[in-house]
Amino acid sequence: MARKKNAAQPAPGENKLLRWLKERRITEVECLVPDFTGNARGKIIPAAKFSHDYGTRLPEGIFVTTVTGDYPDEYYELVQPTDSDMYLRPAPETVRMVPWAADSTAQVIHDCFTRDGKPHDLAPRNVLRRVLALYEELGMRPIVAPELEFFLVQKNTDPDFPLQPPAGRSGRPETARQSYSIDAVNEFDPILDLMYDYCDAMELDVDTLVHESGAAQLEVNFIHDDPMSRADQVFLFKRTMREAALRHGVYATFLAKPMENEPGSSMHIHQSMVDESGKKNLFAGRKDGEHSKLFQHYLAGLQKYVPMAMSIFAPNVNSYRRLAFGEVSPKNVQWGYDNRTCGFRVPVDSLDNTRVESRFAGSDANPYLAMAATLACGYLGIREKLTPTEPFSGSAAEAGYELPRSLEESLQLLAACRPLRELLGTRFVEAFIAVKQKEYQTYFRVISSWEREFLLLNV
416 vs 449, more confident: 416
pLDDT exceeds cutoff 60 at 7 = no
Strands (E), 50-127: 57-59, 85-90, 96-97, 105-113
Q: What confidence tier does 11 reach under pLDDT thresholds 50, 70, 90?
A: very low
At 19-66, the pLDDT tens digits run 999 999 999 999 999 999 999 999 999 998 887 665 689 999 999 999
The answer to the question of residue 125 being in a domain is no
Instruction: Confirm if 145 and 133 have CB atoms less than 8 A apart.
Output: no
The answer to the question of residue 367 being in a domain is yes
The answer to the question of residue 439 being in a domain is no
Q: What is the pLDDT of residue 6?
A: 37
- Are 115 and 191 in the same domain? no
Q: What is the pLDDT of residue 55?
A: 65
CA dihedral 445, 447, 448, 451 (to 10 degrees): 130
Number of domains in the chain: 2
pTM more than 0.85: yes
At 101-159, the pLDDT tens digits run 999 999 999 999 999 999 999 999 999 999 999 999 999 999 999 999 999 999 999 88
CATH number at residue 215: 3.30.590.10
The answer to the question of residue 111 being in a domain is yes
At 238-290, the pLDDT tens digits run 999 999 999 999 999 999 999 999 999 999 999 999 999 988 999 998 877 78
- Are 282 and 148 in the same domain? yes
CA–CA dist 415, 436 (Å, integer): 12
CA–CA distances in Å: residue 426 to residues 270, 419, 421: 27, 10, 5
- Are 105 and 233 in the same domain? no
- Are 230 and 363 in the same domain? yes
- Are 73 and 160 in the same domain? no
CA–CA dist 144, 378 (Å, integer): 13
At 203-250, the pLDDT tens digits run 999 999 999 989 999 999 999 999 999 999 999 999 999 999 999 999
Structural domain including 340 reads 132-424
CA angle 37, 39, 40 (to 5 degrees): 145
The answer to the question of residue 261 being in a domain is yes
The answer to the question of residue 455 being in a domain is no
Q: What is the pLDDT of residue 305?
A: 98
Say how many Å lie between the first and final Cα of the chain, rounded.
69
CA nearest to 195, candidates 238, 241, 235: 241
- Are 113 and 153 in the same domain? no
Q: What is the pLDDT of residue 84?
A: 85
CATH number at residue 61: 3.10.20.70
The answer to the question of residue 436 being in a domain is no
Q: At what angle do helices 227-246 and 367-384 cross, to 10 degrees?
A: 150
Q: What confidence tier does 407 reach under pLDDT thresholds 50, 70, 90?
A: very high
